[in-house]
Amino acid sequence: MTIVHLLERNAREYAKDIALVEINPEQPETRRATWHEFELVESTPRARHYRREITWEVFNEKANRLANMLTQNGIGKGKKVAILLMNCIDWLPIYFGILKTGALAVPLNFRYSSDEIDYCLELAQADVLIFGPEFIGRVEAVADKIGRRCHLIYLGAGCPMFADDYNDLISECSGMYPECTLEEAEDAAIYFSSGTTGFPKAILHNHESLIHACRVEQAHHGQTRDDCFLCIPPLYHTGAKMHWFGSLLAGSKAVILKGTQARHILTAASQEKCTIVWLLVPWAQDVLNALDRGEISLDEFELSQWRLMHIGAQPVPQSLIHRWLEYFPDQQYDTNYGLSESIGPGAVHLGVENVRKVGAIGIPGYGWTVKIVDPDGNEVQQGSVGELCLKGPGVMTCYYRDPAATADTLRDGWLYTGDMAMQDDEGFIYLVDRKKDVIITGGENLYPVQIENFLAAHPKVGDVAVIGLPDPRLGEIATAIIQVKQDMTCTEEEINEFCMELPRYKRPRRIIFADVPRNPTGKIEKPKLRKMYGGEGLVDSQNKS
């Protein structure tokens, strides 16, 4: 079985049930919905916002129309179709339409520059690029170059001259499944690493990986037909899509929210009766801060049906979850660990029954095996720090067209994650830091995540990143970049006093008050911070925010 078969099943058994809803709270609704899309007026007195919904039947029909168009243009097994779209209701039907031909889906990061788009299309050997209006300028800048090897298809109003119109191409195509035979061992998708240390690597997954992600998500979070998943992170990333795969397996509704403001998140959860919400750390912090400041009140929303909040993609401060559970004491909580190389979240997870172990990333996920090893590949003793390794049906096939990187990361069936971790006496795994982010100061190893978690508990700290900066005497020193909460001020003296509870060698030697940059999946962009502050002319730590 593949995820394509799951969509076909849902279209048969739940044909008229809602599959997907798209909400853009910052865009007013200016048209009547068309082609099986339905309009809904908000129940509040505020202005009507943009909302579309489609049934499982229409979802499948859209995917089939694209699949037939691609097949008619010679796209099938072994071919690659890239997707460069912002989150929208068409994103997932396009993804499934590609898979239904036997071709590989190649999602692209919406932050890519023209050069990165060109690079990724060439590396993946893409035959087609489907892109949206937000990317016209970036694609046009390299259109002459990529257009020689890649069919450019535009989805949106006002098709540019250098591309073909998506809707024109599929308008006369059949809505019936083109009946391509798919096996779990066949290639399915190419995802790209975050590329924070240079151009990204292409990660090849097969259909077994995708279907395993469905099973992992449902095993961990128990999705049923009655659930409704609120999806906010970008769909190009494995995290958002693989969490949604639990909804696919259950045949339940999902809401794609285009917006991350605290009020928008709670409004969508309230009005759409969402039961499961996956948040990134910054968005959870924003919700809590807005509640703390009184900008929003829980009395404004109907959230009694919201049963689960879970977080992944980056280390989660314990203080954040304790604060969250004070506001939402009846919710379950889970955290999920994974990489694009392990088909996203779920290789390790805390488990909703283990909230007492907040701070750990958890135990091996459904169908996964883990070990923690020293530099020679030998398992370390319990309680010692080593590199976390994963094995399971969701491990990537390879880094596409990069045998050297593949050999370094995949060894005897194990995925070496590059993450440093330790396991306690109950078997719970704690993420210590990225292998490359360990700070060596005066011969001592410092793990920035530990210091970040400590500083995140300060009442004035909104966000924090700890990096190592060069020091002629100690080699490196721990430097804390602190983003102060809105409408607050903080001094270096306050932070230093707070840090007196840390062992002396773990205390940051330099404090910088500035914004903490994060990528679309919530990860701190530490290479950017090292570049900003690692050379001469460091920002004066006395600058206050």
The tens place of each residue's pLDDT in the chain, 545 residues long, gives 899 999 999 999 999 999 999 999 877 654 444 333 434 333 333 445 689 999 999 999 999 999 999 999 999 999 999 999 999 999 999 999 999 999 999 999 998 889 889 999 999 999 999 999 999 999 999 999 999 999 999 999 999 999 999 999 999 999 999 888 999 999 999 999 865 446 789 999 999 999 999 999 999 999 999 999 999 999 998 888 999 999 999 999 999 999 889 999 999 999 999 999 999 888 898 999 999 999 999 999 999 999 999 987 666 778 889 999 999 999 999 999 998 999 988 999 999 999 999 889 999 999 999 999 999 999 999 999 999 999 999 999 999 999 999 999 999 999 999 888 999 999 999 988 676 777 877 666 787 888 888 898 899 999 999 988 887 767 788 899 999 998 899 999 999 999 998 878 788 999 999 999 887 767 788 878 888 887 433 333 333 33
Residue with tokens 């900066």: 469
Rounded to an integer, what is the distance from CA 83 to the centroid of its chain?
Answer: 16
Question: Where do the domains of the chain lie?
Answer: 40-213, 438-533
Where residue 180 falls (left for φ over 0; alpha for ψ -120 to 50; beta otherwise) is beta
Assess contact for 170 and 146: CB atoms under 8 A. Answer: no
**Helical residues (DSSP H) of 105-237, grouped into ranges:** 114-124, 136-141, 143-146, 166-170, 207-221
- Taking the C-alpha atoms of residue 192 and residue 154, their distance in angstroms, rounded to an integer, is 22
DSSP state of 233: S
Smallest CA-to-CA distance from 218 within 6, 27, 406 is with 6
Question: At how many degrees (to 10) do helices 91-100 and 238-250 cross?
Answer: 80
Question: At how many degrees (to 10) do helices 207-221 and 3-13 cross?
Answer: 60
- Taking the C-alpha atoms of residue 503 and residue 447, their distance in angstroms, rounded to an integer, is 13
Identify the bridge partners of residue 52 per DSSP, sorted by sequence position.
22
Tell me the two tokens of residue 36: 């099986």
3-state secondary structure of 157: coil
407 Cβ contact list (under 8 Å, min separation 6): none
- Taking the C-alpha atoms of residue 63 and residue 92, their distance in angstroms, rounded to an integer, is 8
Residue with tokens 């969701």: 394
Smallest CA-to-CA distance from 437 within 455, 452, 419, 423 is with 419
Residue-level pLDDT at 436: 72
- Taking the C-alpha atoms of residue 239 and residue 103, their distance in angstroms, rounded to an integer, is 22
Q: Parallel, antiparallel, or unpaired for β 510-513 and 475-484?
A: parallel
- Taking the C-alpha atoms of residue 494 and residue 475, their distance in angstroms, rounded to an integer, is 26
Smallest CA-to-CA distance from 214 within 82, 344, 62, 306 is with 344
- Taking the C-alpha atoms of residue 525 and residue 519, their distance in angstroms, rounded to an integer, is 6
Residue with tokens 């993450």: 419
- Taking the C-alpha atoms of residue 160 and residue 496, their distance in angstroms, rounded to an integer, is 56
How many distinct helices (H) and strands (E) make up the chain? 16, 27
CATH number of the structural domain 438-533: 3.30.300.30
Please state the φ and ψ torsions of residue 524, each to the nearest 5 degrees: -65, 135
Q: Parallel, antiparallel, or unpaired for β 308-312 and 276-279?
A: parallel
Tell me the two tokens of residue 230: 């609120």
Residue-level pLDDT at 49: 66
298 Cβ contact list (under 8 Å, min separation 6): 266, 291, 327
What is the enclosing helix (H) or strand (E) of 483?
strand 475-484
Where residue 76 falls (left for φ over 0; alpha for ψ -120 to 50; beta otherwise) is beta
- Taking the C-alpha atoms of residue 120 and residue 201, their distance in angstroms, rounded to an integer, is 8
CA dihedral 371, 377, 378, 381 (to 10 degrees): -50
DSSP state of 201: P
Smallest CA-to-CA distance from 502 within 443, 458, 437 is with 458
Residue-level pLDDT at 47: 40
**Helical residues (DSSP H) of 193-316, grouped into ranges:** 207-221, 238-250, 262-271, 281-293
- Taking the C-alpha atoms of residue 401 and residue 347, their distance in angstroms, rounded to an integer, is 25
Smallest CA-to-CA distance from 451 within 435, 436, 429, 468 is with 468
- Taking the C-alpha atoms of residue 445 and residue 465, their distance in angstroms, rounded to an integer, is 17
CATH number of the structural domain 40-213: 3.40.50.12780
What is the enclosing helix (H) or strand (E) of 125?
none
Residue with tokens 């016209």: 136
DSSP state of 501: G
- Taking the C-alpha atoms of residue 195 and residue 129, their distance in angstroms, rounded to an integer, is 20
3-state secondary structure of 230: strand
Q: How far apart are the first and last CA of the chain?
A: 54
- Taking the C-alpha atoms of residue 226 and residue 18, their distance in angstroms, rounded to an integer, is 12
- Taking the C-alpha atoms of residue 411 and residue 432, their distance in angstroms, rounded to an integer, is 22
Assess contact for 268 and 25: CB atoms under 8 A. Answer: yes
